[in-house]
Structure 1
Amino acid sequence: MLPKPFLAFWNARMVAELAVDSLPFVAQMAERDRQGAVDYLKGAARRYTQARANLGSDAHDLFERMIRGQHVGRVHPDLIPYRDNFADFLAVVNPELVRAEDVAWSDTHGYAGSFDAILHVWLDEEGKPTADRSGERHTLIADWKTSKATYPDVALQMSAYAHADRLISPDGTSEPMPDFDGAAVLHITDETWAFKPVRIDRADVFATFLRLREIFTWDRDTSKTVIGRAIAQATDQLVTGTQRRAK
């Protein structure tokens, strides 16, 4: 429900770059099938997004296995740097997994979502992780992001998880959502990783999420009910001379 005006420019850039980078191929395609060439170009952003989503899903599956302590053998070459960087994160931060890939459910506000992890992380007085767990233990809602950058709306997502009423296990049982000391996002790419704190306070961040939740209800449901059928309308439609001549 957040406005994303930059997406139009990004979509246009993806199409333009594909066209310039594959001019001979596109020209040959257009000679045989103009509509096919148009569809190929306009699908550039969608194909890129799908490829990134597939890589992100595979990486999330890998991360879950690793943080659960499972042995990970050979992986696809594209996943090797993600595996290595996540292993480095585990060594530096040494978190304790509490829950992973369970569902956060809000009866109060009518939403649900699957979170990546609940972690215990030990931090020193400066808020830095202590790999030997000598610092103070904190319970965090955590999220893994494999995108090019971390974006502010991750705070809305994580505040929704943290302020849900209960969490639901794969077997269908549920229990109250625990109290959190905070939230953190692990931004991990094929080059590096960073573990960043994220605000999830109720008065500001979560309140904004709830306003967006109301807009979602308006867009999906309420907006379809606000305009009724016409109670009066024209019975004879004027046909102009221009319209007659066009026929």
Structure 2
Amino acid sequence: MGQIRTITRSGSRFYFDPEKPDLKVPGVTSVISMLPKPFLQHWAAKMTAELAIDSIDFVASMAERDRQGAVDYLKGAARRYTKRRADVGSAAHDLFERMIRGEALGRVHPDLIPYRDHFAEFLEAVNPQLVRAEDVAWSDQHGYAGSFDAILNVWLDENGKPTPDRSGERHAVIADWKTSKATYPDVALQMSAYAHADRIIDAQGVSEPMPELDGACVLHITDETWAFKPVRIDSADVFATFLRLRQIFTWDRETSKTVIGRAIAQAAAKLVTGTQRRAK
């Protein structure tokens, strides 16, 4: 049994089944990327405009020496910001996993101290029990896979509030940590896909059935605050939307490349005269 392997092709991640090395399926987040996000175009334009205004003298000086370099610098504003945020998110996720597993942290980078402190507050306020962390949810039926942050047991009172002394009713939930600016609705699609997968594959490539879950939650945690929120994952509505995106993914990456055949009639080739040939 081997470890699960992933590759990235045309911006999409694919997972390989460790039991069937020739079988690959798209990642959950790659499927969700099929969701239209027209606001991203306006956001990217705003990032570029703000960078141009905030560094106008620098950009003007660069443009005098290297016009294309200045263009590349400005158009990369959104990409660089996204990478910085992704780097912080990855480091924070690593921190959260260590903390919820009870590992000693040692020295923490100053930028991560607020995240550490807020996650510690979450652990104290909710007192969850870790069931699994950072394993892969795999759907044989629908052909997708994705790495989830955690499955937790949490104890809630009759109003759905955590009881850190674990006196309430136990609920098994699949959980996700988000370090983005806000909590966005597509997290429900992501969590629903994980929850409705057929099995879990661990770091050693060992599979077992997806356990029964009572729901899903997202921990939105930033350098300023944190909030633990329930997320809908029902199959009739939320998961059905994810499955439609899964079909669109297949259309975009496979079917669309097969629907137009070779031309069966077309314009005649342009005449090349002898004079033109000799001039080459």
1:32 aligns with 2:54: no
1:144 aligns with 2:184: no
For residues 204 and 67 of structure 2, what CA distance do their matches in structure 1 show? 52
Which residue is 2:4 aligned to?
none
Which residue is 2:262 aligned to?
229
1:86 aligns with 2:119: yes
For residues 147 and 45 of structure 1, what CA distance do their matches in structure 2 show? 15
How far did residue 234 of structure 1 move? 1.9
1:197 aligns with 2:219: no
Q: Select 1:95's aligned residue among 118, 121, 128.
A: 128
Question: Which deviations, in whole Å up to 9, do the C-alpha atoms of 1:64-94 show, x marking residues without a partner?
Answer: 0000000112111110000000000000000
Task: Please tell me the residue identity of whatever aligns with 1:46.
Answer: R
Which residue is 1:66 aligned to?
99
Which residue is 1:42 aligned to?
75
Q: Select 2:48's aligned residue among 7, 15, 31.
A: 15
Give the secondary structure class of the aligned counterpart of 1:184: strand
How far did residue 143 of structure 1 move? 0.1
Which residue is 2:277 aligned to?
none
For residues 172 and 41 of structure 1, what CA distance do their matches in structure 2 show? 43
For residues 201 and 150 of structure 1, what CA distance do their matches in structure 2 show? 18
For residues 105 and 157 of structure 2, what CA distance do their matches in structure 1 show? 31
Question: Which deviations, in whole Å up to 9, do the C-alpha atoms of 1:128-174 show, x marking residues without a partner?
Answer: 00000000000000000000000000000000000000000111111
Question: Which deviations, in whole Å up to 9, do the C-alpha atoms of 1:192-220 show, x marking residues without a partner?
Answer: 00000000001110010000000000000
Give the secondary structure class of the aligned counterpart of 2:41: helix
Task: Please tell me the residue identity of whatever aligns with 2:198.
Answer: D
1:125 aligns with 2:152: no
Task: Please tell me the residue identity of whatever aligns with 1:195.
Answer: F
Give the secondary structure class of the aligned counterpart of 2:190: helix
Which residue is 2:85 aligned to?
52
* Between structures 1 and 2, the one with greater strand share: 2
How far did residue 23 of structure 1 move? 0.9
Task: Please tell me the residue identity of whatever aligns with 2:63.
Answer: A
Give the secondary structure class of the aligned counterpart of 2:99: helix
Which residue is 2:204 aligned to?
171
Task: Please tell me the residue identity of whatever aligns with 2:55.
Answer: S
Task: Please tell me the residue identity of whatever aligns with 1:145.
Answer: K
Question: Which deviations, in whole Å up to 9, do the C-alpha atoms of 1:23-58 show, x marking residues without a partner?
Answer: 111111111111101100000000000000000000
CA RMSD of aligned residues (A): 1.1
For residues 231 and 44 of structure 2, what CA distance do their matches in structure 1 show? 29
Give the secondary structure class of the aligned counterpart of 2:228: strand
Task: Please tell me the residue identity of whatever aligns with 1:10.
Answer: W
Which residue is 1:244 aligned to?
none
**Which TM-score applies when normalising by structure 2?**
0.84
What is the number of residues matched between the two proteins?
Answer: 239
For residues 224 and 108 of structure 2, what CA distance do their matches in structure 1 show? 17
Give the secondary structure class of the aligned counterpart of 1:226: coil
For residues 68 and 266 of structure 2, what CA distance do their matches in structure 1 show? 41
Give the gaps of 5 or more residues in structure 2.
Answer: 1-33, 273-280
How far did residue 233 of structure 1 move? 1.4
How far did residue 237 of structure 1 move? 5.0
Give the secondary structure class of the aligned counterpart of 1:150: coil
Give the secondary structure class of the aligned counterpart of 2:208: strand
For residues 41 and 24 of structure 1, what CA distance do their matches in structure 2 show? 13
Which residue is 1:184 aligned to?
217
Higher relative contact order (CA 8 A, sep 6+): 2
